Structure 1
Amino acid sequence: MFVKPGRSQAVVGVLLALLGFAAVAQVRNTQLDDTYEGRREEELIEIFNGVAGTSDRTRREIARLEQDRRELLVDTSAREAAVEQAETRLRTLNMLAGLVPVTGPGLRVTITEEAGRITIDSLLDTIQELRTAGAEAIEFDGRVRLVASSSFSEVDGVIHLDGEPLRSPYVIEVIGEPHTLHTGLTFPSGPVATLRGDQNADVAIEELDSVDIESVRSLPRAEFASPAEGQ
């Protein structure tokens, strides 16, 4: 399959062609008639000087073209590195903003109410500890993606996440280093101890090699803000 060359590749190709042309021109200029019988000394000196001048100009032109080619290759490599870095940053930001599905190792935490209702504060403590332990993506009940702008509220005794009702059992799926996340929840006086001891909830934690978080958020459109001049 043929791939259409990019602009930088085309420019490098032209430079190589010019290098070839310059080399041929130098050879042709040096391949002068070597039968100088009958020519005066002044004519021979003039011919020699002309050949020497042409050769010098050709060498300088070849050196200039080679320098241009090297600079183009360096510029192309730097541009490709910058593009790759920007694409990597974009992918990371999309994942953190909840705009794309993600997969990776992590935890599944299941919180089941038994003798009473758990509180918003206990859920917030759980989320905060997971984030502190390095959680990269969090999803509730397989349908609500938790992002930086998310908020919890309580309506008629039911906990809501960004307007979506959550009910027992609360299933929290998290992507991050499983053991670190687990430790972040289970240290003495941590969120799991509070849920089990103060709120009589059952908490089950599974360390998983692969967690799939499929829910995504749409990016809100700015109504009032716009980029500052020059940004």
Structure 2
Amino acid sequence: MDEAREPRRAAAKTQRSLLRDFFRPSRGQFVVGLALFLTALIVVLTLRSQATQPEFANVRQADLIQLLDNVTGETRRLEEQVRELERSRTELLSGADRDQAAREEAARRLEQARIIAGTVPAVGPGIRIEIQDPGERVTAELLLNAVEELRDAGAEVIELNDAVRLVMNSYFSADETGAVTADGVALAEPYVIDAIGDPATLEAGARFRGGLVSEIEGERVGGRVTIEQLEAVDISSVVEIAEPQFARPR
């Protein structure tokens, strides 16, 4: 009887031991279980993350790298285009400045040419020379020499008797009465010469030995010369330019 009960007691003991081991795991079992739990958690989170990712979620890493390279290259290309446009803008602005400077220089030279040609009025510092000739001995040659002396002294614009603008092709002569004429216009005494240029230099040119003053005030003419330096000499007479009949610009 006792021998029959002994196997049953051993089986019950083994069952109780298994139950105790299941509810009270060892350290090794605990570590294995924790690892399995974490693995399962990571898998679940990964699946959820992929489910909420945009269109790139299923793209391979190599494809993503290639896509990033393409975006980087496109960005660099656009940046280069921006730099090129900036350079073009700078060149256009610089070109506009050069064009503006060229136009201003052309306008300045045109104005100078008009002044030299005598087609526009002029104003500037200079001198006024008044020649009194009571004996009427002043000749066309003498006045021509006086004008040449003033030009040699730097006169830029010259006018006679507030009426005749002297230019490069001006000429002096005498009419049938013997009166002095300039460009066909009869001149009356006193002769007034207005000249624009450096006042001191122009006066020195008129007064040098053997020049205008010496000739007029010498015994041959017996006249009198007065010279006044002015800050502003206003010359209003102009020359009418005839339209060329045959010549045309090239």
The alignment's TM-score, normalised by the length of structure 2, stands at: 0.74
Q: Which has the larger radius of gyration?
A: 2
Contact preservation (8 Å) 1:116, 1:200: no
Give the 5 Å matches for 1:207-226: 207-226=229-248
Q: Which residue of 2 aligns with 1:51?
A: 71
Local SS of the residue matching 2:57: coil
Q: Distance in 2 between matches of 1:58 and 1:123?
A: 76
Q: Distance in 2 between matches of 1:41 and 1:107?
A: 92
Q: Compute the RMSD of aligned alpha carbons.
A: 1.7
Alignment partner of 1:115 is 2:168? no
TM-aligned CA deviation for residue 98 of structure 1: 1.0
Q: Which residue of 1 aligns with 2:185?
A: 164
Contact preservation (8 Å) 2:140, 2:181: no
Q: Distance in 2 between matches of 1:139 and 1:116?
A: 21
Match of 1:40 among 37, 50, 60: 60
Q: Which residue of 1 aligns with 2:97?
A: 77
Give the 5 Å matches for 1:195-210: 195-197=216-218, 198-210=220-232
TM-aligned CA deviation for residue 35 of structure 1: 7.8
TM-aligned CA deviation for residue 111 of structure 1: 0.9
Letter in 1 for 2:156: E
Aligned length: 196
The alignment's TM-score, normalised by the length of structure 1, stands at: 0.80
Cα separation, partners in 2 of 1:100 and 1:51, compared to 1, 3 Å: same
Q: Which residue of 1 aligns with 2:18?
A: none
Q: Which residue of 1 aligns with 2:168?
A: 148
Cα separation, partners in 2 of 1:34 and 1:220, compared to 1, 3 Å: farther
Local SS of the residue matching 1:168: coil
TM-aligned CA deviation for residue 227 of structure 1: 2.2
TM-aligned CA deviation for residue 36 of structure 1: 4.1
TM-aligned CA deviation for residue 94 of structure 1: 1.0
Contact preservation (8 Å) 2:126, 2:232: yes
Identity percentage of aligned residues: 39
Which 4+ residue blocks in structure 1 deviate beyond 3 angstroms?
33-38
Local SS of the residue matching 2:205: helix
Q: Distance in 1 between matches of 2:242 and 2:171?
A: 16
Q: Which residue of 1 aligns with 2:146?
A: 126
Q: Which residue of 1 aligns with 2:201?
A: 180
Q: Distance in 2 between matches of 1:34 and 1:182?
A: 94
CA distances 1:164-202 after superposition (whole Å, capped 9, x unpaired): 100111111111111110000111111210111121111
Letter in 1 for 2:164: V
Alignment partner of 1:63 is 2:83? yes
Q: Distance in 2 between matches of 1:82 and 1:217?
A: 28
TM-aligned CA deviation for residue 108 of structure 1: 1.0
Question: Gapped runs of 5+ residues in structure 1?
Answer: 1-32
Letter in 1 for 2:145: D
Local SS of the residue matching 1:37: helix
